[in-house]
């Protein structure tokens, strides 16, 4: 489809959205062309960083209004051929749409390409964005507010009433979701449209059995259709934060911990089966690459929208497009072969572009490494917050250990081990491996930071002193007074 914004009076056209004609100040109408003919072809046989797969063709398409647009394809066409975009034939299909200038049109097209999407006026919806930490939209940590704004507009066009929609999320354990949603611009979008924002962590939750495991799931998620709206990001812990990972924050804190303790590869398929009526519309307008899923990662600028009824299929196709290794939690949740997945909209091979993989041992601090296997979101968030606050302080290299699935081989020849969190402390005791120090989740955050600072700046085995505890209480009291 080709979209142009046309002045009703002087007939001038724009390829991007405007509200009034800049020449005569008259109203603008949106002109859409669906009958596309190939009027030009260029074959490219030399690869480039943005287009590594060759050969490919650049088509010049023209619609019934005379509007033109280039389109990359791996298929061969002839001048005069019609360019037809087919809709999905299977329930597990994934649609991919390139965002030009209008996120709204891209989301609308992505949904329209799927098979039998059932959205109607009487539906009660729960929109589940990804809001894991307080960050600005340009950092690509959280679902983009422009994406949510466009998504709501599309849902209203389907007839869904705003009073039947809630936006629900909980941040990473240890973070405030309202603070995160405010900084990310999500609360402003909710206020603009009169949509209620709900903190999932406050419940209520209902226990649901799935394949022998009991999940405590947010009750509203069981009585509404879920619009899963993650931002697609690399994740140094599990490889990818996407459609599947986003659903883990629809359960209570203890269940989240258990999902990682028991192993996400086996637990995520069970959780997905316990959540009925999930439609994923994923935000890859920016997307994140490198050391995601928090601010250590960097925007990938993908300009894509993904949609599917199958969250595992969507994650798998995203990995194929971005040339990432497909994580185990995705393949274990996928009920069919990746190669057999139906992809509609833009061609998968035509979109392939390698983004930076995440390094599983890196932290925000150059002298602090992490050894992780099965670490829960609480420990992950705590590790990230503590190491971020010491970035300007160089010192002796230390290894923070988190997770419940640690092995002796993982820790072999690793010095200065710091066990962070109950799971790691318990596991290292079971393995009979000594540590330089332990950081308990229950102690005050300032005390945790003081201990980590001492470990970084000395070669010994420092401990928290009574003086440190007094300073901690004073800083805590001072912060409350300032607020």
142 in Cβ contact with 344 (< 8 Å): no
Q: Please indicate whether residue 78 or residue 294 has the higher confidence score (pLDDT).
A: 78
Task: Write down the pLDDT at residue 477.
Answer: 55
Most confident by average pLDDT, 55-64, 266-275, 333-342, 432-441: 55-64
Task: Write down the pLDDT at residue 483.
Answer: 46
**pLDDT surpassing 50 at residue 127:** yes
**N-term to C-term CA, the chain:** 52
**pLDDT surpassing 70 at residue 367:** yes
- Write the pLDDT tens digit of every residue in 318-341: 999 999 999 999 999 998 899 999
For range 247-259, the mean pLDDT: 95
For range 4-30, the mean pLDDT: 95
Task: Write down the pLDDT at residue 475.
Answer: 58
Task: Show the CA angle centred on residue 278, arms to residues 208 and 146, nearest 5°.
Answer: 130
For range 89-97, the mean pLDDT: 97
At residue 240, the 3 state secondary structure works out as strand
Give the pLDDT band of residue 364 (cuts 50, 70, 90): confident
pTM for the whole structure = 0.92
For range 188-192, the mean pLDDT: 98
Give the pLDDT band of residue 16 (cuts 50, 70, 90): very high
Task: Write down the pLDDT at residue 377.
Answer: 85
Say how far apart CA 25 and CA 29 lie, in whole Å.
Answer: 13
- The fraction of the chain above a pLDDT of 90, given in percent, is 78
Say how far apart CA 371 and CA 381 lie, in whole Å.
Answer: 14
Task: Write down the pLDDT at residue 277.
Answer: 85
- Mean pLDDT over each residue of the chain, to the nearest integer: 93
For range 462-470, the mean pLDDT: 64
**pLDDT surpassing 70 at residue 473:** no
**pLDDT surpassing 90 at residue 233:** yes
- What DSSP element (H or E) covers 226? strand 225-229
Q: Who contacts 272 (Cβ-Cβ below 8 Å, separation ≥6)?
A: 244, 247, 278, 311, 312, 333
Going along the chain from its start, the domains and CATH numbers come out as 2-83 (no CATH), 94-351 (3.40.50.11440), 368-482 (3.40.50)
Calculate the alpha carbon distances from 243 to 71, 139, 232, 346 in Å: 27, 19, 8, 19
> Around Cβ 263, how many Cβ atoms within 10 Å?
17
Task: Mark out the alpha helices in 356-407 (DSSP H runs).
Answer: 377-388
DSSP states of 76-97 as a string?
A: ---TT-EE--PPP-STT-EEEE
**pLDDT surpassing 90 at residue 220:** yes
In degrees rounded to 5, what are phi and psi of residue 436?
A: -75, -35
Say how far apart CA 438 and CA 426 lie, in whole Å.
Answer: 11
Q: How far is CA 311 from the centre of its chain?
A: 12
For range 375-391, the mean pLDDT: 88
Residue 345 — left, alpha, or beta (φ > 0 → left; ψ -120 to 50 → alpha)? left
Rounded-to-10 torsion of CA 468, 472, 473, 478:
140
Task: Write down the pLDDT at residue 472.
Answer: 60
């Amino acid at each position: 489809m080709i979209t142009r914004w046309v002045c009703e009076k002087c007939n001038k056209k724009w390829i991007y959205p405007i509200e009034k004609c800049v020449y005569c100040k008259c109203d603008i109408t949106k002109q859409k062309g669906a009958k596309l003919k190939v009027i030009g072809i260029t074959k490219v046989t030399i690869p480039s960083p943005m287009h590594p797969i060759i050969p490919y063709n650049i088509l010049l398409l023209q619609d019934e209004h005379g509007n033109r647009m280039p389109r990359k394809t791996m298929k061969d066409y002839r001048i005069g051929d019609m360019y037809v975009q087919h809709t999905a034939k299977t329930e597990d299909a994934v649609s991919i749409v390139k965002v030009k200038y209008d996120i709204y049109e891209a989301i609308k097209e992505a949904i329209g390409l799927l098979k039998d999407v059932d959205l109607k006026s009487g539906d009660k919806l729960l929109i589940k964005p990804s809001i894991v930490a307080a960050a600005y939209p340009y950092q690509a940590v959280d679902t983009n507010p422009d994406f949510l704004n466009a998504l709501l507009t599309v849902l209203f066009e389907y007839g869904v009433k705003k009073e039947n929609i809630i936006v629900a999320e909980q941040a990473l354990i240890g973070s405030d979701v309202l603070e995160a949603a405010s900084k990310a611009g999500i609360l402003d979008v909710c206020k603009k449209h009169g949509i209620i924002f709900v903190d999932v962590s406050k419940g209520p939750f209902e226990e649901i059995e799935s394949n022998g495991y009991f999940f405590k799931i947010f009750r509203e998620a069981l009585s509404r259709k879920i619009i899963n709206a993650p931002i697609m990001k690399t994740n140094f812990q599990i490889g990818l934060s996407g459609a599947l990972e986003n659903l883990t924050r629809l359960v209570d804190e203890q269940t989240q911990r258990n999902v990682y303790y028991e192993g996400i590869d086996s637990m995520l398929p069970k959780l997905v089966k316990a959540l009925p009526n999930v439609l994923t519309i994923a935000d890859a307008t920016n997307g994140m690459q490198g050391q995601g899923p928090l601010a250590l990662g960097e925007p990938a600028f993908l300009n894509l929208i993904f949609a599917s009824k199958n969250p595992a299929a969507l994650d798998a196709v995203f990995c194929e497009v971005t040339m990432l290794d497909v994580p185990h939690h995705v393949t274990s949740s996928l009920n069919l072969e990746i190669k057999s997945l139906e992809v509609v909209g833009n061609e998968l091979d035509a979109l392939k572009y390698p983004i930076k993989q995440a390094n599983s041992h890196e932290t925000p601090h150059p002298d602090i490494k992490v050894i992780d296997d099965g670490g829960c979101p609480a420990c992950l968030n705590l590790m990230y917050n503590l190491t971020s606050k010491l970035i300007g302080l160089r010192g002796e290299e230390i290894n923070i250990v988190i997770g419940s699935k640690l092995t002796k081989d993982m820790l072999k020849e690793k010095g200065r081990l710091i066990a962070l969190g109950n799971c790691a402390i318990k596991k290292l005791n079971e393995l009979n491996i000594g540590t330089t120090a332990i950081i308990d989740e229950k102690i005050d955050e300032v005390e945790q930071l003081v201990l980590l600072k001492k470990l970084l700046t000395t070669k010994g085995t420092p401990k928290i002193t009574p003086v440190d505890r007094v300073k901690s209480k004073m800083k805590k009291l001072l912060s409350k007074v300032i607020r």
